[in-house]
A and B are shown apart, each in its own frame.
Chain A
Amino acid sequence: MSLDYVKFSTGFEKFMPKEYRDMVEHGPFGKKVTVSQMGSFKEILEEHPMCAGCAMTLFIRLAIISFPNPEDTITVGTAGCGRLAISQAAIPFVYGNYGDQNGVASGLARGLRLRFGDKPKDVVVMVGDGGMADIGFSGTLHSWFRKEKFTTIMLDNEVYGNTGGQESGMTNRGAVLKMAPLGKKFEKMDMVGMAKIAGCAYVATVVPNNPRRVESVIKKAVLIAREVGPTYIQAYTSCNIEYAIPTDKVMEDAKTVEDDRYKFAEYITDDAKQYLSERYGYKEFLPKPATAAAIPQA
């Protein structure tokens, strides 16, 4: 555990803001916290300017709680709404040019492996659909083809939210947006299909109206990326501003969209299953015992 970077320097404790002291003394560093303990420990995500009721904010909050080792995690982001919150957490955040996130993360993850050897340092990319499927598309796909070992998470609000409502490759066909007044003419891109073809070891689609499921997929994706290969999570994180969803109906919308085009789905390679069961004790992936019927009769 590398907890030194969050500790107080001797003599400075009394000058630190309350939030910082709470985080050092009652935060999740060096402990295992779960979403079911939320509300009783100090979270490392602080205040930020994302809109009231934004589902992307909720997803980011859940994701950060779910990191298996927050003290050994580095997040990578890009232009878009999500960076406004991700950058306000007490874990290092790397921010480059729009769309370069998977290139940056490739170098970072390789460098950390050289520097720290077997000690896991988790790199997690979290960016919008525009930043990933449009502007950062080739960088994303190439990092997967090269089998770069880190986690990529798409915060899919099906629009360019930060710049006021342009269509992205992930917008649905026919959707009318402020800056796409004629309606989108093409289908939503199949990034999940591409992630599988490009060789990701774990791919999942998830919606934040099931916090424990978000926790489960984030943990698996981060652990698998340590040794097996690239992992990809695509999360529906609605933009209540550009899609005019009343804030108290955001979870209702999430359920509707989940039933429609965002059903929970998980793809995991055999290598990744074996790794999770052997290394981290995941019982669901233990090899099934041979059944009686499979034993040849004497």
Chain B
Amino acid sequence: MYLVADISVEICAATSCRLCTQFCPEANTILYNNDAGKEKGLKYGSAYVAVDRCKGCAQCVWVCDNMAKHHAIKMIMIDQLPKAALTDNVTYGEKTTTVQLASPVIG
């Protein structure tokens, strides 16, 4: 098993500074859903990680902790994530994306 980045919608959607994706070395990996967290009254939408593209470098954790100072990202063993975003389940829209979460191990 290996580590991937996991973003807390609750923390991220309170500000969604959109910083982490600018520092992730991998393309199309940290994406944004402008509506995430809205059902809980959170304003800004959240970042999420397409875990099948994440290489587990934890650079985003450093950026969220030290530059954004939001502490929204943790590294977690991929089989410990009940549901996660996978590239196949991402839908691109005009200025945002949406995703159907699924088990990262079973698909």
Contacts and interface: CB of A to CB of B under 8 A. Distances in A.
> Do A and B actually bind?
yes
Interface of A: 18-19, 22, 25-26, 35-43, 45-47, 50-55, 57-58, 61-62, 209, 211, 247-252
A41 B58 contact: no
15 contacts: A18-B88, A19-B28, A38-B21, A39-B47, A43-B27, A45-B28, A47-B27, A53-B57, A54-B25, A57-B25, A247-B58, A248-B57, A248-B58, A249-B62, A251-B63
A45 B28 CA distance: 8
Given A19-B87, A209-B23, 8 more contacts: A38-B21, A43-B28, A47-B27, A52-B25, A52-B55, A52-B56, A58-B59, A251-B62
B38 to A, nearest CB: 16
* A-B pairs, 3 with minimum CB distance: A53-B57, A52-B55, A26-B92
B70 interface: no
Q: Is the interface of A mostly helix, strand, loop or mixed?
A: helix
Given A39-B18, A53-B57, A58 B62 contact: no
A241 B66 CA distance: 23
Contacts of B32: 39-40
A139 to B, nearest CB: 29
A248 B105 CA distance: 25
A47 B26 CA distance: 8
B106 to A, nearest CB: 19
Interface string B82-105: 000001101011011100000000
Contact of B25 (A39, A55, A209): A55
B96 A58 contact: no
B94 to A, nearest CB: 8
Given A25-B92, A249-B62, A211 B23 contact: yes
A38 B28 CA distance: 9
Contact of A39 (B21, B61, B63): B21
B31 interface: yes
Nearest to A25: B92
Contacts of A50: 25
Nearest to A47: B53
Given A53-B25, A57-B25, A211-B22, A40 B55 contact: no
B2 to A, nearest CB: 10
B9 interface: no
Q: Which interface residue of A26, A43, A52, A211 has the most chain B CB atoms within 10 A?
A: A52
B95 A40 contact: yes
B42 interface: no
A43 B62 CA distance: 23
Nearest to A36: B18
A61 B92 contact: no
B30 A39 contact: yes
B11 interface: no
Contact of B59 (A35, A36, A211, A250): A250
A20 to B, nearest CB: 12
Interface string B23-48: 11111101110100000000000010
A38 B22 contact: yes
Q: Which interface residue of B21, B32, B34 has the most chain A CB atoms within 10 A?
A: B21
A211 to B, nearest CB: 4
Contacts of B28: 19, 42-43, 45-46
Nearest to A54: B25
Contact of A52 (B57, B61, B92): B57
Interface in B57-79: 57-59, 61-63, 66-67
